[in-house]
C-alpha cells in the first residue's frame, strides 16, 4: 500500500511539473507588425516591376510605330523618285524615228514599236515601269491649283492696317494695350495644305495664335507639312504697334506651291484675327502681276468674349471659324456691332506686287515696317449712334398741394456718339403728379 501511494504521488508531481514546463508562446507583436509591412513592400515592388514592364512595352510600341513611319516615308520616296536613267530611257524610246503610229481597236490598244530585234521584252517592261511612275508622280490630285509656270515668281507683300477711331469708333482700345497688330505669319503651299479654313474648326496652332499670338505650333505644323512637300516656305513680319500702319516682306513662290495663306492677330481681342486662305497667284502658266484684297475680322471660335478687352472665356464645345459682321454676333455688347451698317469697312488690306527679275536682283527687301502715314483715306468714317440706358423708376411726387407736385426719372449714356452718329436723347424726364399728403387730405 505504501509503495502504491508513493507511485501515485510521483505521477501527480510529474503532471504538475509538466504543466509548469508547458509554456504557451504568443506571437511577438513586433513580428505581427513586420509581416504585413513586408508583404506590402513586396506588393509595391511587384507593382513597380509591372509598371516598368508596361513602360518597356510602350517604348517597344513607340519604336514599332516609328519603324512603320519610316517604312511609309521610304515607300513614298520610292514612289516619287524617277531616276535620271529612267528619264533618259523614256526620251530615248520616244525619240526613236522607227515608232509606228498607235492603232486602236474595240478590243484592245496595239502599240507597234521597233522590231523585236531592236527592242526586247525587258525594254518594254522598263518603259511601262517608267510610264507608271510618271503617272503616279504627276497624276495626283491638284484641287484646281496646278501651276504650269516655267519658273518661280517674286512678290512684295504689303499689309496695311485701317483700324482707327474713325472707322471703328465703338470701344476703340486706347491703352492696356492700345489698338495694334501682331506679327504677320504667311506660308506658300499647294492644294493639300490649309493654314485655316472659314467654316472649319481651328487647329491648336491657329487657336494659340488667335488668342495669345504664340506661333510655336504654327511653325511646327508648317515644318511638318514642308517635309511632306505640302508647304514651300514660311514668312514673318514684325508687328505694327498701332491700328494704322504698314508692314511688308518679300515672297518667293514656286510653281509647286502657288497658294498663299496668312494670318495677323487683332490686339487686343479674345480670338479675333484677319487672314487670307489659299490665295492662288498662278493661273495656268502665268503668274498674276498685282492683287489687292480687303480683309474683315474673323473669329477663331475658341473664345466667347464679346469685346476687345474681354477676359478669357473658352468656348465649349469649340465652334467653327466665322466671319464677324456688323450684325453678327447680334449683341449690342459686341465691339463690331454697328446695326446701321450693312457691312463693316475693311479693318485691314494686303497688296501683292510681282517683281521683275532685274528689280529683284537690284533691290533685295527684308521684313520691315513701312512709315506710318497713310495717304488719302480710302474709307469714310463709320457713324456711331448714341446708346443710353433704360429709364429709372419714377421718383417721389414732391410739391405743394395748391400747385400740384412733380416727379422725375433719369437715364445715363452707355455709348457717346461719334462720326456724325445719332445724338443722345434727353437724359431726364418729369411729369406732374399729386403729392401723397394731398391725397390723404382729400
CATH for 430: 2.20.100
The set of residues, in sequence order, having a beta carbon less than 8 Å from that of 40 and lying 6+ positions away, is none
Over residues 338-357, mean pLDDT: 90
Contact at 8 Å (CB) between 373 and 180? no
Do 290 and 203 fall within a single domain? yes
Pick from 364, 371, 369, 370: nearest CA to 251: 364
Split at pLDDT 50, 70, 90, the class of 408 is: confident
Domain contains 206: yes
3-7, 13-17, 48-52, 152-156: the lowest-pLDDT one: 13-17
Q: What is the pLDDT of residues 64-88, one digit of tens each?
A: 888 888 888 888 777 766 445 455 5
Mean pLDDT, rounded, for 163-190: 92
| CA nearest neighbour of 86 among 141, 113, 121, 125 | 125
The reply to whether 210 falls in a domain is yes
Per-residue pLDDT, 72: 84
- With a cut of 60, say whether residue 422 has pLDDT above it: yes
Phi, psi of 104 (to 5 degrees): -110, 135
259 backbone dihedrals φ, ψ, rounded to 5°: -95, 145
> Would you state the pLDDT for residue 372?
45
Question: What pLDDT score was predicted for residue 100?
Answer: 37
Cα separation of 186 and 191, whole Å? 15
Report helix, strand or coil for 184: strand
Are 186 and 259 a contacting pair, CB within 8 Å? no
Position 271 pLDDT exceeds 70: yes
Q: Considering the domain boundaries, does residue 56 fall inside one?
A: no
Grid coordinates given for 202: 481651328
CA–CA separation, 268 vs 271, rounded Å? Answer: 9
What's the mean pLDDT in 156-164? 95
- The maximal CA–CA distance of the chain, rounded, in angstroms, is 148
Domain of 117 in residue numbering reads as 84-138
- For residue 50, pLDDT over 50 is answered with yes
Q: Is residue 169 one of the residues assigned to a domain?
A: yes
C-beta separation of 300 from 272 below 8 A: yes
> Does 75 map to a domain?
no
Are residues 239 and 211 both part of a single domain?
yes
Together in a domain, 217 and 344: yes
Residues 298 and 357 in one domain: yes
Same domain as 211, residue 321: yes
**Which residue would you say has higher pLDDT here, 78 or 125?**
78
pTM for this prediction: 0.57
pLDDT of 365 strictly over 50: no
Does the structure show a pLDDT above 90 at 136?
no
Number of domains in the chain: 3
- Is pLDDT above 80 for 415? no
261, pLDDT greater than 80: yes
Residue with more model confidence, 153 or 363 = 153
Residue 265: name the closest of 177, 191, 376, 326 by CA.
177
More confident residue, 176 or 118: 176
Is residue 132 scored above 50 in pLDDT?
yes
Q: Which of 321, 273, 261 is closest to 163 using CA atoms?
A: 273
Q: What average pLDDT score do residues 251-278 get?
A: 95
- The three cell numbers of residue 3 are 509503495
Kindly indicate the confidence band of residue 12, based on its pLDDT and cuts at 50, 70 and 90: confident
Rounded (10°) angle between helices 84-95 and 121-138 = 110
Amino acid at each position: 500500500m505504501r509503495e502504491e501511494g508513493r507511485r501515485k504521488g510521483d505521477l501527480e508531481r510529474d503532471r504538475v511539473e509538466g504543466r509548469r514546463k508547458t509554456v504557451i508562446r504568443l506571437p511577438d507583436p513586433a513580428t505581427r507588425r513586420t509581416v504585413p509591412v513586408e508583404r506590402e513592400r513586396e506588393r509595391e515592388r511587384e507593382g513597380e516591376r509591372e509598371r516598368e514592364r508596361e513602360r518597356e512595352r510602350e517604348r517597344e510600341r513607340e519604336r514599332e510605330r516609328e519603324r512603320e513611319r519610316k517604312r511609309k516615308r521610304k515607300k513614298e520616296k520610292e514612289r516619287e523618285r524617277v531616276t535620271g536613267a529612267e528619264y533618259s530611257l523614256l526620251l530615248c524610246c520616244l525619240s526613236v524615228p522607227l515608232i509606228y503610229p498607235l492603232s486602236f481597236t474595240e478590243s484592245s490598244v496595239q502599240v507597234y514599236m521597233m522590231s523585236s530585234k531592236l527592242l526586247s521584252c525587258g525594254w518594254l517592261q522598263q518603259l511601262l515601269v517608267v510610264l507608271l511612275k510618271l503617272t503616279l508622280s504627276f497624276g495626283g490630285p491638284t484641287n484646281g491649283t496646278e501651276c504650269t509656270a516655267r519658273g518661280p515668281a517674286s512678290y512684295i507683300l504689303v499689309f496695311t492696317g485701317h483700324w482707327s477711331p474713325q472707322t471703328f469708333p465703338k470701344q476703340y482700345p486706347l491703352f492696356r494695350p492700345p489698338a495694334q497688330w501682331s506679327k504677320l505669319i504667311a506660308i506658300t503651299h499647294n492644294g493639300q495644305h490649309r493654314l485655316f479654313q472659314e467654316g472649319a474648326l481651328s487647329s491648336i496652332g491657329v487657336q494659340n495664335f488667335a488668342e495669345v499670338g504664340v506661333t510655336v505650333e504654327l511653325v511646327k505644323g508648317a515644318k511638318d507639312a514642308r517635309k511632306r512637300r505640302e508647304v514651300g516656305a514660311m514668312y514673318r513680319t514684325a508687328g505694327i504697334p498701332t491700328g494704322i500702319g504698314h508692314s511688308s516682306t518679300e515672297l518667293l513662290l514656286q510653281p509647286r506651291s502657288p497658294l498663299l495663306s496668312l494670318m495677323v492677330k487683332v490686339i487686343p481681342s479674345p480670338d479675333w484675327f484677319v487672314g487670307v486662305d489659299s490665295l492662288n497667284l498662278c493661273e495656268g502658266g502665268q503668274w498674276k502681276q498685282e492683287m489687292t484684297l480687303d480683309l474683315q475680322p474673323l473669329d477663331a471660335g475658341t473664345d466667347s468674349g464679346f469685346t476687345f478687352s474681354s477676359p478669357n472665356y473658352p468656348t465649349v464645345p469649340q465652334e467653327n471659324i466665322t466671319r464677324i459682321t456688323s450684325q453678327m454676333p447680334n449683341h449690342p455688347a459686341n465691339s463690331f456691332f454697328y446695326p446701321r451698317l450693312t457691312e463693316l469697312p475693311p479693318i485691314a488690306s494686303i497688296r501683292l506686287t510681282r517683281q521683275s527679275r532685274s528689280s529683284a536682283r537690284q533691290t533685295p527687301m527684308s521684313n520691315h515696317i513701312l512709315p506710318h502715314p497713310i495717304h488719302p483715306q480710302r474709307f469714310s468714317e463709320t457713324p456711331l449712334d448714341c446708346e443710353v440706358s433704360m429709364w429709372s423708376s419714377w421718383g417721389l411726387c414732391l410739391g405743394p398741394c395748391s400747385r400740384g407736385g412733380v416727379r422725375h426719372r433719369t437715364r445715363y449714356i452707355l455709348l457717346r456718339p461719334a462720326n456724325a452718329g445719332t445724338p443722345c436723347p434727353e437724359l431726364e424726364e418729369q411729369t406732374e403728379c399729386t403729392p401723397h399728403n394731398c391725397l390723404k387730405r382729400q
